[in-house]
Amino acid sequence: MISPTKGNGAMRRYILTDRDRERLTDWVLHDVEDDMTRRIFTIWRYSYPRLRDDMRLLITVTKKLRSRGRWGTRPRHEPGERHLPRWMREGRKLIKDVKRSQSSNKA
């Protein structure tokens, strides 16, 4: 079995660190920018084509797994918002905040 912690080429479980997410969230919501934020922009510009292609592949794999009934897992808990990973809960909140701020800017 492949363990993602042993450095054997297994898929990583995240792209951004928690601090990177905070910096980008601050930039999106409040235009807070510093040298580290600009560094993230540079890395993103360089990495985007490969990450985009990886996401396309992973979406195709997900669709195929779903079509074969192999996507669902056997959760240990009842499904619910509190059992989502923190980055996913925060991402949903960020999207809502951005949409809310965009709609208020249009008015």
Taking 90 as the threshold, does the pLDDT of residue 70 lie above it? no
Structure token pair of residue 75: 């959760």
Q: Is-above-0.85 flag for pTM?
A: no
The ranges assigned to domains in the chain are 18-71+82-101
Q: What angle do helix axes 35-67 and 18-30 make, rounded to 10 degrees?
A: 110
Other residues' Cβ atoms within 10 Å of the Cβ of residue 86: 9
CA distance 51 to 34: 24
How confident is the model at residue 80, as a pLDDT? Answer: 56
Taking 80 as the threshold, does the pLDDT of residue 63 lie above it? yes
Taking 50 as the threshold, does the pLDDT of residue 19 lie above it? yes
